[in-house]
Amino acid sequence: MSFKINMNVEGDTATIRLAGELDGRSAPELNDLVSQAVGRQVAKLVLLLDELTYMSSAGVRCLVFAHQKLPRGSEITLVGTQPEVAETIRLTGFDRSIMMR
């Protein structure tokens, strides 16, 4: 399965759409976009995951990376999280550090 990712920044919000599988091969792309968003001083990160079919532990590490890099008090929101991906996040306990809708 291929992986697609793109980012849009408006004001203090970066929105990143992910499609396909987020694993060890694709995780660096997400980390790169998170770093770009941090450089643009965003306070909110929205990840659109309705087309993300799989997230490995490398994907969860990307979420942790984003949480660590964004300024204190920033929001990370996952939108449209597929059940399998949501379960991976819940199993790590990271769902308590972000918002999932």
Q: Could you tell me the CATH number of the domain that includes residue 31? A: 3.30.750.24
What is the tens place of the pLDDT at every residue in 62-95? 999 999 999 999 999 999 999 999 999 999 999 9
Q: What is the pLDDT of residue 66?
A: 96
Q: For tokens 């759409």, name the residue.
A: 17
Q: What is the DSSP string of 58-87?
A: HHHHHHHHHHHHSPTT-EEEEES--HHHHH
| Residue 101 included in any domain | no
Give the CA distances from residue 62 to residues 11, 43, 82, 98, in Å, rounded to whole numbers and listed in that order. 23, 17, 17, 13
Q: Which of 92, 25, 27 is nearest to 66 (CA)?
A: 27
* Position 61 in a domain: yes
Q: Quick check: is 19 in a domain?
A: yes
Domains held by the chain: number: 1
Query: Do the domain assignments include residue 45?
Result: yes
**Quick one: pLDDT at residue 98?**
94
